Every structure is written in structure tokens, then in C-alpha cells.
Amino acid sequence: MELADKAVGFLLSYISLSVFTYYTFWVIILPFVNSDHFIHRYFLPQEFAILIPVFAGMVLLCFLCIFIGYVMLKSKKKKA
């Protein structure tokens, strides 16, 4: 079981590092590269650099609120 936990941890770390590197390159370095350079084909337009994190944050906040509400309702039923 310990090996499986390490594998999952490594996979999550690798995915997080990849997303961080991609996003950092997209937001910080890409604006200084000429717009006709071939590297621009691998990235979305700059507007999405703001929209995607905002949307992800809103979804995370909604799930967090739903989870807290569910736990509060469940704990209220246990007391009654």
C-alpha cells in the first residue's frame, strides 16, 4: 500500500508541476515572444489565462460550499 501511495503522490506532484510550468510560461514568457512564432500554436489566447483560473476557483468555491452545507445538515440530523 505504501508503494501505491508514493506512486499517487509522485503522479500528483508531476501533474501539478507540469500545469504550473505550462501556465507560468503562458502568462509570463509568451507575451514577450513574437506573435508569428510557432510556439503560439500550443497555447490558448491570453484571455483564457484569466478566465480558466477564475472559473476553476468558482467551481472549487461552489463545491466547498456544498460540502460544508452537507456536513452541517448531516451533523444536525445526528443531534436530533
| pTM of the model as a whole | 0.70
- Per-position DSSP letters for the chain, written without gaps between them: -HHHHHHHHHHHHHHHHHHHHHHHIIIIIGGGS-TTSGGGGGS--TTHHHHHHHHHHHHHHHHHHHHHHHHHHHHHHHH-
Model confidence at 80, pLDDT cuts 50, 70, 90, reads low
pLDDT tens, residue by residue, 5-37: 899 999 999 999 999 999 999 999 999 999 899
